[in-house]
Structure 1
């Protein structure tokens, strides 16, 4: 997989498009209709990072009908009473303003390290979207740190981290207590062994309370092992979408994009947080899998693109992302971005599968 801290010139956005898009989006809230997530900040970051900056404002114009204004503030979150406000969605704007103040006063890595362990127990909140948004924001800041003149960390990029962390804090909600099932030898085997929730109906808020147990997997005695196992999990979940994504094409992308958000954040976190980050990422991937996995896998390979074609380099990773960008669906763009991080033929075929399964924006 690629390194989330990479700083090649093609990904630093000297055009300023990302900052423009984020400033445009920071007048809007993280949700609409009281629950559904605003995916635009994540999608535009993925578009810019993968060479599609010229398409960003057109994409936002098409997505604009899904945006709502920031919710009104309630009362400020203070450093000594944050526990009372944790998990209160009415306080979304209060939390965003709190993190804005924190990031104005301290280095962003310091703020992230302080709050990461406090937020990890609620990683599955809002269908894992807050941690995914945080992962995109952190990746941008890591990339910005090594940018040449004209790039670097900017106010909109720091503000995006405040919005992401604020959303996570406001929606934070731990999963029910979970028992450990028999240990699985690999991430792929662990995902296959996740028991589906008994009632496969309703939204994720109806399904997650039904969780009772997951296979034991991912014990990490040291940070390097934790990172390696987290990489394995992202790869396994991405590959699995090729054959299981039809169970719920939109929701099952999060089984891969949520742990990948955690993987992207690791370089910015103290190493002692890497093992608990792996444990939380496994919980998130397993929860989404349990909530939406289909009874049977689908035939592989996908009809539009075979793994053999990708292996023969008839279709490049850049071309796969171009297809996702042209398709326009926000989940498809983010999943394809994760598939490019994995980078192997099966991951790219899974990305094509997401393009086949999900409804296009355009």
Structure 2
């Protein structure tokens, strides 16, 4: 139930400050940030990848100045994550210290990003909570730290055309997740989409369709050349149904370009990142691991969806505003969370949402048998 309490609290804050502009805006904003930090930081064995990180946490030693970059058998993680974990052990041996530090960095980064680039930042937080919060705070812990550095520093340097600082920040980002290597080409892509007035829907659709046909050949080539590790090999096993391929096109290509179209109307300066989102999203049909790169641009999708949401409602008739907002929010909730109802264990019909529901905290530490079973057997 705590998830729903926070959901309704964020709706209340959104209405109070983005639509009514009442006093106490900044205080309420950072209190909301603190709530989300504590929710993630004090969770107990909640999240599929969280359980993996808890397991490897035991293998990482406490920070030792004489051995800053230790090699640890059984831990497949970048040195940035290992160092963060070892430093957290100086505070305490429990994993929740790592969770608190990670959640603080990620949520402060998102909240700072929203406040920096839009005046409708409460709506951004609401959409962030609906679309990305649980995934970024409960699952992709290392990559979300990389995304946070990208949001806090890299974007600013890119906008200011300080490319040396941009690439230095990307090096730091790669210390937490290797997927950040893609960010090396972002300045080139950004300048391309910023200057070209091309039909990106046609371009991305062609890339997506071609990828569907070339995917089997591409996978065989990767396997034949031995270019993948065990870590990446799992992505070769993904075999999407027709419905999955259609949903992939809608979610990764069509949606960001629709948002881009409306964001262009409101002259959103961050709208060009939506085209980059769609270009990368179109490439997921060729190799499914590319969907991990989309995580770096999800905040821009959230920011521009929130912008459109508020602008449309503010310009609608007051008597239909509540109805329209309910429909819009419900659509976002259902559309972005349909995957949590996907079956992850066919033998017992366990669903994806079992990774996050029910919620347990360190103050009431309970082991959920369903979540533990899925983690051990999938």
Query: Scaled by the length of structure 2, what TM-score is found?
Result: 0.30
Q: When you count helix as a share of all residues, which structure comes out higher?
A: 2
User: Which of these two proteins has the greater Rg computed from alpha carbons?
Assistant: 2
